[in-house]
Amino acid sequence: MGDSVGNFALPGTEGDGIRRYRLSDYTDTGAVVLAFYPFDFSPVCTDVLCRFRDAEFLSLTEDVDVFGISRDSCYAHRRFIEEYDLSFPLLSDTTGRVTEAFDLAYDEWELHEGVPKRALVTVDDSDTVRYRWETEDAYVSPDFEELHQTVLSLVDADP
């Protein structure tokens, strides 16, 4: 925590068209939760991303945006969003450069190289990491209460 984050842009979708999402466009006006995950439609990823969809503390907080990031294509993301009615954009890190920049890539997981670890990174409006959680075991889910407390501290810190 406390590390500065460089700006990045990735293609993504909210379920309709595909567009470029630039981190600074969101951190300029608030905080961002980056939810890295291995694959669309995998059982644990589906469960975790649906928990983000259902987390009231995130939907009631205007100054905090959530983005899912995996190496899947925007076309797979679009179908995943439609099937599970996800309420936040999914970004495609097809080259793995953003995942690598955050040092969150598996060397190999289930015979796939370079896929993102399951991780949460919260970045505040000064582009500083305020919370980071990651696991080597992609079958482990994050603690949403810890994330909730971080979001509360970010909201309380705003004037």
* Domain spans in the chain, listed from the N-terminal domain onward: 9-150
CATH of domain 9-150: 3.40.30.10
**β-pair type (90-92, 9-13):** antiparallel
CA dihedral 65, 23, 85, 50 (to 10 degrees): -70
Is residue 35 scored above 90 in pLDDT? yes
Among 95, 76, 94, residue whose Cα is nearest residue 86: 76
Name every residue whose Cβ is closer than 8 Å to that of residue 133 and which is 6 or more positions away in sequence. Answer: 119, 120, 142, 143, 146, 147
Q: What is the b/e burial string over 68-77, where b = at least 16 CB atoms within 10 angstroms of the residue's CB?
A: bbbbbebebb
Indicate the pTM of the whole model.
Answer: 0.91
pLDDT in tens, 42-98: 888 888 899 888 988 776 677 889 999 999 999 999 999 999 999 999 999 999 999
Structure confidence by residue, pLDDT tens digits, 82-119: 999 999 999 999 999 999 999 999 988 788 888 999 99
Q: Where does the pLDDT of residue 138 fall: very low under 50, low under 70, confident under 90, or very high at 90 and above? A: confident
Give the C-alpha separation, 117 to 103, whole Å. Answer: 9
Using DSSP's 3-state secondary structure scheme, residue 76 falls into helix
